[in-house]
C-alpha cells in the first residue's frame, strides 16, 4: 500500500507539477521521469517485503502463473487501490485546485485523436512490455539484480511513447487514485482492460515459454 501510495502520488503529482512548471523540460519529460523514478524506488523499497507489487495488473499476471495465491492477490490489489486512493486524497488536499483540476489531479485521459479500442490496445502493449521486464528482472533467477531500475526505466520509455495518447497509466491503481480525487472517470475501463490483458499475455509468455524451458 505504501509503495503504491508513493508511486501514484509522485506519478499523478508530476502531471500537476508539469502543468505548473516554467522549466525548460517539457511536460512529457517531467511526467516520464517522475513516473519511472517513483516506480523504480517503490518497487525496490517493497521488493523484500511484498515482492514489489505496486500494480494490480502485474499482480494478476503473477496470479495466472500461480506465483501468488488468490487470497494474497486479492489482498495486494485492495492494498494497492487503498494506497492509490490515499495518494489521490493527498493531492486533492495539498495541491492548488486551479491547476490540479486542469489535469484532473493527474488522471490519465485518452487523446481525442484515438479511439477507445486504440487506447485499450496501447495500454495493453505498454503493460506487456512492463510485465515482461518484471518477469525478466524480478522473477527470473538468472537476471542481474537491477529489477527496480529496469522496471522504472520501462515505465519512463512507455510514457514517452504513450503519454500524449493515453496518459500511459499501465496500472489500474495509477489511474484509480487521481480519478477518485477528481471524480473524473471518463474511459476508466480502458485502464483496467488494457493493462490486465497485457499483463496476462506477458506473464504467460515469459513463464511458460522462457522460464519453464530454462528450468
Q: What is the DSSP string of 107-168?
A: -----TTS-HHHHHHHHHHHHHHHHHHHIIIII-TTS-S-HHHHHHHHHHHHHHHHHHHH--
Cα dihedral across residues 122, 196, 40, 134: positive or negative: negative
Q: What is the grid cell recorded at 151?
A: 522496471
Q: Average pLDDT in the 47-71 region?
A: 93
55 — phi, psi (to 5°)? -135, 120
pLDDT on residue 155? 93
Distance CA 67, CA 26 (A): 40
pLDDT on residue 213? 63
Domain ranges of the chain: 2-214
In a 10 Å sphere around its CB, with 0-12 CB exposed, 13-18 middle and 19+ buried, how is residue 213 labelled? Answer: exposed
Q: Average pLDDT in the 68-90 region?
A: 96
Q: Average pLDDT in the 115-130 region?
A: 94
Q: What is the per-residue pLDDT across 133-178, written as a single tens digit (0 to 9) for each?
A: 999 998 888 887 788 899 999 999 888 888 888 999 999 999 999 9
Reply yes or no on whether the pLDDT at 31 is more than 90: no
117 — phi, psi (to 5°)? -65, -40
Given the C-alpha cell 489482498, which residue does it identify? 75
Q: Average pLDDT in the 74-90 region?
A: 96
Percent share of the chain, pLDDT over 70: 91
For 2-214, which CATH class? mainly alpha
Band the pLDDT of 214: cuts 50, 70, 90.
low
Reply yes or no on whether the pLDDT at 195 is more than 90: yes
Reply yes or no on whether the pLDDT at 186 is more than 70: yes
Amino acid at each position: 500500500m505504501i509503495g503504491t501510495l508513493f508511486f501514484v502520488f509522485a506519478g499523478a503529482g508530476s502531471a500537476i507539477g508539469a502543468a505548473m512548471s516554467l522549466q525548460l523540460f517539457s511536460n512529457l519529460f517531467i511526467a516520464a521521469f517522475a513516473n519511472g523514478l517513483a516506480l523504480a524506488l517503490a518497487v525496490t523499497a517493497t521488493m523484500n517485503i511484498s515482492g514489489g507489487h505496486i500494480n494490480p495488473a502485474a499482480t494478476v499476471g503473477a496470479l495466472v502463473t500461480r506465483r501468488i495465491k488468490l487470497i494474497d492477490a486479492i489482498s495486494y490489489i485492495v492494498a494497492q487501490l487503498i494506497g492509490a486512493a490515499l495518494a489521490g486524497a493527498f493531492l486533492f488536499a495539498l495541491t492548488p485546485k486551479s491547476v490540479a483540476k486542469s489535469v484532473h489531479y493527474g488522471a490519465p485521459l485518452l487523446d481525442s485523436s484515438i479511439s477507445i479500442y486504440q487506447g485499450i490496445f496501447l495500454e495493453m502493449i505498454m503493460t506487456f512490455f512492463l510485465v515482461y521486464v518484471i518477469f525478466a528482472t524480478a522473477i527470473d533467477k538468472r537476471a542481474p539484480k537491477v529489477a527496480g531500475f529496469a522496471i522504472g526505466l520501462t515505465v519512463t520509455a512507455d510514457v514517452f511513447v504513450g503519454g500524449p495518447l493515453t496518459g500511459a497509466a499501465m496500472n489500474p491503481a495509477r489511474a484509480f487514485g487521481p480519478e477518485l480525487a477528481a471524480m473524473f472517470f471518463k474511459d476508466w475501463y480502458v485502464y483496467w482492460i488494457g493493462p490486465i490483458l497485457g499483463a496476462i499475455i506477458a506473464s504467460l509468455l515469459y513463464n511458460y515459454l522462457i522460464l519453464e524451458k530454462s528450468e
